[in-house]
Amino acid sequence: MPRSLAIALTVTDVAFILYWTLAALSQLGLLHIPPEWMYANYEQRDVIAWNWSFLPMDLAFSAFGLMSVAAARRGDPVWRSYAIVSLTLTMAAGGMAVSYWAILGQFNPSWFLSNLLLVIWPLFFMRRLLRIPEAPVTRSA
């Protein structure tokens, strides 16, 4: 595994686990997060539900990303498959959030660009991970 991929996966995945931990503590009333740090309409029931709908996907890509890094450290070739799953789910989650904000016409740079980054950075690694040697071309007579 390239060192840059291990770093990108670890930073992203730990950040999302931290995000969901803070979100849960906030939802339970155990932590106050300043409103200016939050996304638009964060206090509305439907928006809360929309945000929490990402939990399974975010935790899945975080788990696969961290498992990929751990497998690579062990020299287990399964790291590549785990990384592909993690990067695919990361792009899907980022793309869904970007679409949501774009449909609403809300372009808060901190939320919009951070989600756009989740769509873009995995592409640099997916290109390499999905590279499959070309089969020889055979011509029939």
For the chain, the average pLDDT equals 89
Residue 23 domain-assigned (yes or no): yes
What are the pLDDT digits (tens) for 30-62? 988 887 777 777 788 898 899 999 999 999 999
Residue 139 domain-assigned (yes or no): no
Residue 14 domain-assigned (yes or no): yes
Taking the CB of residue 128, how many other CB atoms lie within 10 A of it?
Answer: 10
Half-sphere exposure of 33 (CA within 13 A, CB side): 17
Instruction: Count the domains in the chain.
Output: 1
pLDDT score at 41: 75
Residue 113 domain-assigned (yes or no): yes
Q: Which position has the higher pLDDT, 92 or 134?
A: 92
Taking the CB of residue 12, how many other CB atoms lie within 10 A of it?
Answer: 22
Residue 24 domain-assigned (yes or no): yes
Segments forming the whole domain that contains residue 30: 3-129
Over range 126-134, report the average pLDDT: 78
pTM of the shown model: 0.86
Residue 38 domain-assigned (yes or no): yes
Residue 49 domain-assigned (yes or no): yes
SS (H, E, C) the chain: CCHHHHHHHHHHHHHHHHHHHHHHHHHCCCCCCCHHHCCCCCCCHHHHHHHHCCHHHHHHHHHHHHHHHHHHHHCCCCHHHHHHHHHHHHHHHHHHHHHHHHHHCCCCHHHHHHHHHHHHHHHHHHHHHCCCCCCCCCCCC
Residue 134 domain-assigned (yes or no): no
112 pLDDT band, cuts 50/70/90, is confident
pLDDT score at 103: 93
> Is 117's pLDDT higher than 90?
yes
Taking the CB of residue 83, how many other CB atoms lie within 10 A of it?
Answer: 27
